[in-house]
Every structure is written in C-alpha cells, then in structure tokens.
Amino acid sequence: MKILGIAGSLRKGSFNRMALAVAQRLAPVDVQFEVFDLANIPPYNEDVKAVGWPESVKRFREAIAAADAVLITTPEYNYSIPGVLKNAIDWASRPPEQPFDGKPIAIMGASPGRLGTARAQYHLRQVFVFLNSFVLNKPEVMIAAAHQLFDEGGNLKDETTRGFIADLVKSLVDWTRRLG
C-alpha cells in the first residue's frame, strides 16, 4: 500500500510537517509512505493550464493518482484552510481524470491554538465531499498546543498524541483496504 502525505504548510519549522513526519515513521512496515512538498506549485491560473500543466502540478497529480490513500496535515489560518493547500487541491482537481475521485483521505492538523485546527479540518472535509473522496471520519486528530508537544528538533514529546497519530494511520490503512 502507498500513502501520500501532504503538509498544508510551507514553513520548515511547521508543526504540521513535524506531525506528518511522525505519521510517516508510524506507518506499518508494509506501507510505503511518500511526502509531497507543495512549495513549487504555482498559484492556480486557468490560462497557464490552457498552455500546459506546470511540471510541479503534473508530479503532484501523478503522486495522488499513484497513491492508494492520502494523509493531509493542515494548519488553520483565519478559521480555514491555508491558501497553499487549497491552491494545490484546486490545481490537482482540474479535469481530466481528477485524481482525488474515490481516493481514501485522512486529515489531521496541529496548531498552537486550543482548537487544534478543527475549523480548517471541517472546511477541508467539505472540499473533499465535492471531489468525491472517501474521507475517514474517525479518529479525528486535532493537535492543540502543538508548540508544547514538539521539541526544537521536531520530535514529538507527547505519547498520547503519538497514539492518536498512530491510530489515524492504522485507521487509514484499514479504511483503504476495506474500500479496496
């Protein structure tokens, strides 16, 4: 099985990138877990697409299509999804052959705030309803006070949170196999 991980933040010290790295390490040994960096995806522009897909977008679409499932970590910006993440989804979702169609997806997020990206995750779920993806409902992983849970090296210090992430990865694997 192949899982594609996507962090909705470009910041090197992003708690969401750190959480995604934890998920990658916790994946079962029979699961290939690849992470795609959104940094090179340009702002969506239909005029650019009319000329041809940018190479970074082609690679992103191919990575989604090749994956059996997708795990997205999202920060919350102004009660919603970060622009960089929405932009990448908008690029990838354009016809033909929209690669999110029928794809199992899990969502989690980390934030210094008390709600741990709850609002952003719900907005992201709405986007994937339209894209006909199979979003895993539970467990929900909303990592609050993330600045207290990770050390300077990006290591997760909290075993309870590690357990939540492990449960999410296991549930995504099980969900993907069930949808088969």
**Tens-digit pLDDT profile for the chain (180 aa)?**
999 999 999 998 999 999 999 999 999 999 999 999 999 999 999 998 889 999 999 999 999 999 999 999 999 999 999 999 999 999 999 988 999 999 999 999 999 988 889 999 999 999 999 999 999 999 999 999 999 999 989 999 999 999 999 999 999 999 999 998
Question: What's the domain range around 71?
Answer: 2-179
Pick from 83, 76, 85, 79: which is nearest to 105 by CA?
85
* CATH number where 129 lies: 3.40.50.360
Helix (H, G, I), strand (E, B) or coil at 166: helix
Rounded to two decimals, what is the model's pTM? 0.96
The total of structural domains in the chain comes to 1
Q: How far is CA 126 from CA 21, 101, 143, 167, 178, in A?
A: 25, 14, 20, 23, 22
Helix (H, G, I), strand (E, B) or coil at 80: strand
